Amino acid sequence: MVSDENVVRDPEFKTTAHNPRAERLGAFGENNRLPRSVQAIYLRPLRRKAEYGLPVCNLQLRSYSVRNVEFFADFAIRAAYYLNLPVSGPVPLPRITERWTVPRSNFVNKKSQENFERITLRRLIQIKDGNPQSVQVWLAFLRKHAFYGVGMKANVWEHDSLDVGQKMDKSASEVNDILRSDLENFVGRGSRSLPETAEPTAERS
């Protein structure tokens, strides 16, 4: 006799206590378990704990379907866990309701009007204490595996040291050297080379 807990609800066979298939599946569930990757689908997504709580990215998801936005929010949180990114959310944001009123027809039904309404659902996911490169990888992964009917909007903040100005000047000189080698290809034959520095227009005149 098999208890009700071991009887599998499957439409392909009758879920009775004397069904041999139900007995085999019940015995399999008692002696074995599903892989952890399969079990994680039926559980809440795992999360990393933030140490300082500094926000580095706000990801806003928008959709007209509750099912789509909830599914993709769960997918984004699971992806953040495997990239070692502490995440909070999804936080429901206020809905955006849009309405339009148009006439039904331009003849006998001209005075009769018809209303249309569109509701946009939003969810907010926030990344805290994340490495900038990891955040960019996370956003690129979400763009690559984007779900249909779901739009994304991300605000990213990066924290840098006090000598960020010197780094920008150094990178600007490197970009200038790269552009100089490319711009030399546009100089005509027999013409002079590019000047070392840009002269003001007043002095050249």
Low-confidence ranges of the chain (pLDDT < 70): 1-19, 21-31, 109, 187-205
- State how far the Cα of 54 lies from the Cα of 128, in Å rounded to an integer: 5
**Residue 130 CB coordination number (10 Å):** 24
CB-based burial, 57-86: b 16+ in 10 Å, e otherwise:
bbbbbbbeeeebbbebbebbbbbbeebebb
Closest CA to 127 of 153, 155, 106: 155
Length of the chain: 205
Give the pLDDT confidence score for residue 39 in this predicted structure. Answer: 77
pTM (2 d.p.): 0.63
- State how far the Cα of 23 lies from the Cα of 31, in Å rounded to an integer: 12
Give the pLDDT confidence score for residue 123 in this predicted structure. Answer: 95
Give the pLDDT confidence score for residue 106 in this predicted structure. Answer: 75
CA distances from 14 to 17, 23, 68, 149 (A): 9, 12, 34, 39
**Residue 169 CB coordination number (10 Å):** 10
Give the pLDDT confidence score for residue 21 in this predicted structure. Answer: 61
